[in-house]
Amino acid sequence: MADMKVAAYICQGCGLGDRLDTKALAGVAKKEGKAAIVKEHEFLCNADGVKMIRDDIANEGVTHVMVGACSRRAKTEAFGFTDVCVSRANLREGVIWSQPETDEAQETTQEMAEDYIRMGCAEVKKMTLPAGDPAAVTERTLLVVGGGVSGMTAALEASRAGYQVVLVEKSGALGGWAAKLHKRTPGKSPYADPQETPVAAMVAAIEGDANIKVYLNAVTSKISGAPGRFEAEISTESGATTTEKAGGIVQATGFNLYDANNLPELGYGKSANVVDQAGLEALAKAAGGGAIKRPSDGGEVKRVVFVQCAGQRDDSGKHLPYCSGSCCLTSVKQAMYFKDANPDIDTVVIYQDLRMPGQGEDFYRSGQTKGVTFTKGKVSGVEAAGNQCKVSFQDLILNDQAQIDDADLVVLATGQVPVSGVDIDSKLKAEIAAAAGDNSLMEAYNASQQEGAVKPVSILNLTYRQGPDMPQLKYGFTDSHFICFPYETRRTGIYAAGPVRRPMDMAQAVEDATGATMKAIQAIENAGIGRAAHPRSGDLSYPIFRKEGCTQCKRCTVECPFGAIDEDEQRFPQFNQARCRRCGTCMGACPVRVISFENYSVETVGSQLKAVDVPDEFSEKPRILVLACENDAYPALDMAAMNRNVYSAFVRVIPVRCLGSVNTIWINDALSNGYDGVMMMGCKHGDDYQCHFVKGSELANIRMSKIGDTLKNMSLEEERVSTFEVAITDIERVPQLINDYAALIQKIGMSPMKGF
C-alpha cells in the first residue's frame, strides 16, 4: 500500500467563515490531526474548490481527504472522490446550523467545530480504500424453485434477459395452481370475462427455450454457497441427484388452499355438494364448458351459493386471520362459469366486503351484468339436505336471519396458505410470545418437537447456519417487511415470488415474479464484482476477519441478520461476502474485535471518540457522545439543523451504519475517556421494525441492556448510557431528546472518570 498522505480542507462558505475561526480549525487539523496538507477555501464545493482537492490528489499524492464543510449527506457529487478515502467533518448542519448565533455561544460552537475536525482527521487515517473482494465470482444462472405461473414467469423473464435458468418443480408437470384452473380471472382490459390460463403457452415457451433446464418430480435437497456461487443438489423422485450451479435464486413455491376439512360447520365433508374453489375448478374442467353437474347425483345445478371468507378473516383463532386478496375475483369468475353457460342458473355471492381493487371493479360490474347477485352477509352454517344444501346467514343489509334451503352447490372461498418450508425462527418467536404472556406458540413449538410429530419439510435445504429456509413473517409468508423495498428479505440473493410471500392473484404473481427475477439477476451481477446489495448498494467493503484472535464465541454467526456467516470445520466463523449487507452487526457483536471493514471499523469510530478534547471536571462542559444511525437518526439531525432547531453544544455526533454495529468497547472507551454520557439513536424495533438491517437496532438494545454491570464496575450511573428509538421525522424530538439528556447529565453531575 502506498504511503498515507492526509489532506484537510476547510470550507468557509455558507457562513462557516463568519461563524467559526477557520484558521484555528486549520491549526487543529495541522497540529492535532497531523494532516500533511491543510487548506481553507471560501467555497469548497464549487468547481475551483473541488479542483484544488483533485490537484492535490493528482500532484501531491494525497490518499486521505478530510473535508470540513457540510454534512456527509450534502454535496455528494462534489466530494464523492472514489480514488481516496474521504471523511466529512459536519461543520454546517452539525455545528453552525444547530448552535445559536450568539456571542455567548461562540466559544462552545468553536469547540464543537474543532472537535469535529479532530474526529474527521482521526477517522480518515483509520480508513483504507476498499479494493473489492478478490475472490468475487459469479454464475449467470438463475435457480427457480417452483414451476407454477410465478416460477415459469421467473424462468422465462430471466431467459429473455440473457441468463441461464434451472427450474425445479416437485410435481410431475409445470403449471402449479394455474394448471388446475378451468379459466383465469382477466389480467387486462376489458376485465369482463374469464380467460384461458397462460399455462399451455408458458410450458410450450419453456420447452422451446434452450436457456431453461427443467427438473420435474424434483426438489432442492441441498443448497450451499452464496449469491454468485450457489450450488444446488437437485434430487428427483427416482433417486437421482444432480448438482447445478446458480448465481441467484427465486423461490416461487406458491400456496395450498386452506383445508376446508377444518370447516365442518360450513358443510364441507358432510355433503358432496359443498366444495372449495379448487373443487369447483375441477368440476368446471370436467364439464369442459358444458353444464356443471351436481356432485352428489349428477343432477342439474340450478342454484349456486358462494361463501366468501370461508375460514378467513377469522377472529376466533381457529382459522386464517388474514384475507387472501384473490377469492372475491375467483368467486365472481366461477359464478360466470354458470352464468355464461346458462343464465337461468341462480348464483349468489355472500360476502362481507367485496374486495376487487383496481380494475377488479370492472369485473365486479361484469359479474352483475351477467346476473350474478351479491348479498352482504355472514354465513353461519351450511347443512346437507338430501341433494341440496341449506345455507344460513345473516343478511347485513336487510338485517335478517336468512336461509337459502335449496342450493345445489355451495362453494367455499377458503384462501391461501403459503408453502414456505421450515420456520427457522419458530422457537425464537415462541419465546418472545411467551415472554409477552402468550404461551400458544410455545406449546405448538413443543408439540412439533415431540417424537413422531409431523415436522415441516424444508424447501430450499440451505446449509446456512441459521437454518434451511427463508425467514418467515407472520402467518408463514416469506415477504420482506419493508414497504419501500418489498424484495429485501434476510437472505441476500434469494427472492420469494408469488403467493409464498403474500396472498395474491395471478396477475400480481406475474408482476411479482418479474420483479423478483430482476433482483436475482442484480444479485448475480453484484456478486461478480463484490458489490453490496441494498441498502448499502455499491459498497465494496466487506467484513475482514482476523482469525488468530477469534474465541469461537459464535455471536457473529448467530446475530448476523442475513445469515451471512457459517462455521468452518474448525468452528471458526466463515464469512460469505456476497450474502453480507455490510451493516456491521458482526463487528458490533464481536467481544474480541476481530471483525472490521476497510472503511468502517472499531478503529474508525474508536479513534474519533478518543480524538475529542474532553475538558476537565471543573469546566462545566460535559461531553456527550451520540452514536446515530446513519439511515434515520443522522438525517433527522441534519434536517433539525436545516430548521435551525438548536441543541446542546456538548454533544459530539458520530454516524454509525446501524446501531447493531456498535461495539461495546466504544461505550467503554467513551466512559473511560471522561465522556459524561452516551446516547445511542437507532431505528424502531419490534413487530413494526424500521431498522434497515432488520435486527440491528434490536440487537443493540439487547446488548445495551446488559451494560449495567460495566457501568457499576466503573461506579457510574446507569443513565450515562441510554438508547433511543428515533425516526427520520423527529426533527423536533431529537434536539429535545439531546437537550433533555444534557439536562439530566447536568443533574447527575460530571463524570468522575475525566483526566485518567
Partner 1 sequence: MTEVIATNQTILVVGGGISGMTAALEAAECGKNVVLVEKNSALGGRVSQLYRYFPKLCHPICGLEINQRRLKQNPRIRVLTMAEVTAIAGGEGDYTATVKLAPRFVNENCTACGECSKAVDSEVPDAFNYNLGKVKAAYLPNKMAYPQRYVIDPSIVGTPEGEKAKAACKYGAVDLDMQEETVQLKAGAVIWATGWKPYDAAKIQPYGYDRFSNVITSVEFERLADIHGPTKGKILRPSDGKEAKNIAFIQCAGSRDENHLRHCSRICCMASLKQTNYVREAYGDEGKSTIYYIDIRAIDRFEDFYAKVWNDPNVTFIKSKVAKAVQDEKTGDVVLHGVNTEGYHRYATPHDLVVLAVGMEPSVKGADLPAQIVSDSSGFIEADPANHAFFGAGCASSPLDVNRAVQSATASALRAIQVVNRVARVED
Partner 2 sequence: MSENYRNNFLREVEEKVEEGHWVKMCMQCGVCAGSCPFGPHWAHPPQEIFMMIRAGKREEVLSSDSMWMCTSCYQCIVRCPRKLPITHIMHGLANYAYRLGLSPKKQPTQQFASMFWNNLAQAGRVNELKLSLGMYFKDGFAQGIKNAMAMQSVGLGMVKAKRLNPMELFAPHGVKDKSGFHAMLKKAREIEDRRKNLA
Kindly state the smallest distance separating residue 388's Cβ from partner 2, in Å: 10
231 binds, among partner 2, partner 1, none (CB under 5 to 8 A by kind): none
Pick the binder of partner 1 from 170, 222, 481, 582 (CB under 8 A): 481
Q: Measuring CA to CA, how many Å separate 24 from each of 21, 28, 92, 99, 438? A: 5, 6, 16, 18, 61
Q: Which of 698, 704, 689, 682 is nearest to 631 (CA)?
A: 682
What does 729 bind: partner 2, partner 1, none (CB cut-off 5 to 8 Å by kind)? Answer: partner 1
Under rule CB under 8 A, residue 162 binds partner 1: yes
Q: In this structure, are strands 248-251 and 141-145 parallel, antiparallel, or unpaired?
A: parallel
CB closer to partner 1, 154 vs 590: 154
- Which residues are CB-contacts of 693 (< 8 A; sequence separation ≥ 6)? 535, 561, 562, 581, 583, 585, 658, 660
Joined together, the cell numbers standing for residue 710 give 460495566
| Cβ atoms 708, 715 nearer than 8 A | no
Taking CB within 5 to 8 Å according to partner kind, which of partner 2, partner 1, none is near residue 303?
Answer: partner 2
The reply on whether position 243 binds partner 1 by CB under 8 A is no
The answer to whether residue 537 forms part of the interface with partner 1 (CB under 8 A) is yes
Give the residue, chosen from 264, 289, 343, 358, that forms a contact with partner 1 under the rule CB under 8 A. 358
Taking CB within 5 to 8 Å according to partner kind, which of partner 1, partner 2, none is near residue 132?
none
Q: Residue length, the chain? A: 756
Nearer to partner 2, 399 or 713 (CB): 399
420-449 binders of partner 1 (CB under 8 A): none
Nearer to partner 2, 258 or 338 (CB): 338
- Binding partner 1 by CB under 8 A: which of 238, 316, 399, 570? 399
State in Å, rounded, how far the first CA of the chain is from the last one: 36
Distance CA 216, CA 211 (A): 16
Beta pairing class for 388-395 and 230-236: unpaired
> Around Cβ 412, how many Cβ atoms within 10 Å?
30
* Choice between 375 and 751, CB closer to partner 1: 375
**Count of Cβ atoms closer than 10 Å to residue 684 Cβ:** 15
Supply the Cα-derived Rg of the chain in whole angstroms.
Answer: 31
Nearest distance from residue 83's CB to partner 1, in Å? 13
Least Å distance, CB 348 to partner 2, is 6
- Enter the DSSP assignment of 129: -
Question: What's the angle, vertex CA 204, arms to CA 198 and CA 205, rounded to 5?
Answer: 85
Measuring CA to CA, which residue among 404, 406, 377 is closest to residue 392?
Answer: 404
Give the burial string for 462-480 (b: 16+ CB within 10 Å, else e).
bebbbbbbbbbbeebbbbb
x/- map, 713-742, partner 1, by CB under 8 A: --------------xxx-xx----------
Which partner in partner 1, partner 2, none is near 514 (CB below 5 to 8 A by kind)? partner 1
Q: Which of 360, 421, 655, 682 binds partner 1 (CB under 8 A)?
A: 360
Residue 229 or 501: which CB sits closer to partner 1? 501
Closer to partner 2 by CB, 405 or 620: give it.
Answer: 405
Rule CB under 8 A: is residue 643 a binding residue for partner 1? yes
User: What's the rounded Cα separation, in Å, for the pair 189 and 329?
Assistant: 15
CB 566 within 8 A of CB 557: yes
Dihedral of alpha carbons 298, 302, 303, 304, sign:
positive
At 749, give phi and psi (nearest 5°): 95, 170
> What backbone phi and psi angles, to 5 degrees, belong to 698?
-65, -45
Q: Which does 360 bind (CB under 5 to 8 A by kind): partner 1, partner 2, none?
A: partner 1
**Residue placing its CB nearer to partner 2 in the complex, 72 or 303:** 303
Q: Which does 102 bind (CB under 5 to 8 A by kind): partner 1, partner 2, none?
A: none
588 dihedral zone (left: phi>0; alpha: psi -120 to 50; beta): alpha
Phi and psi angles of residue 680, each rounded to the nearest 5 degrees, phi first: -115, 125
Distance CA 32, CA 173 (A): 71
Nearer to partner 1, 190 or 269 (CB): 190
* Residue 375 interacts with, from partner 1, partner 2, none (CB under 5-8 Å by kind): partner 2
- 406 is in the binding site of which of partner 1, partner 2, none (Cβ under 5 to 8 A by kind)? partner 2
CA-nearest of 493, 492, 469, 611 to 117 is: 611
Q: Residue 464: CA atoms inside 13 Å, Cβ hemisphere, count?
A: 29
Residue 515: name its binding partner from partner 1, partner 2, none (Cβ under 5 to 8 Å by kind): partner 1
Q: Is 195 in the site for partner 1 (CB under 8 A)?
A: no
The residue (of 300 and 567) whose beta carbon lies closer to partner 2 is 300
User: Is position 518 an interface residue for partner 1 (rule: CB under 8 A)?
Assistant: yes
Among 355, 652, 685, 720, binds partner 1 (CB under 8 A): 355
Shortest distance, position 190 Cβ to partner 1, whole Å: 7
Residue 153 · residue 513 · CB < 8 Å: yes
- For partner 1, the binding residues in 297-316 under the rule CB under 8 A are 313, 315
DSSP 95: I
27 contact choice in partner 1, partner 2, none (CB below 5 to 8 Å, kind-dependent)? none
Distance of closest approach, residue 295 Cβ to partner 2, in angstroms: 21
Residue type, 504: M
Of partner 2, partner 1, none, which one does residue 596 interact with (CB within 5 to 8 Å by kind)? none
- Specify the residue for cell string 449527506: 73
48/297 with CB nearer partner 1: 48
Which string of x and - marks every residue 679-708 that binds partner 1 (by CB under 8 A)? ----xx---x-x-x----------------
The minimum distance between CB 353 and partner 1, in angstroms, equals: 4
Q: Minimal distance in Å, beta carbon 338 to partner 2?
A: 12
Stretch that binds partner 1, among 28-36, 158-166, 594-602, 606-614 (CB under 8 A): 158-166
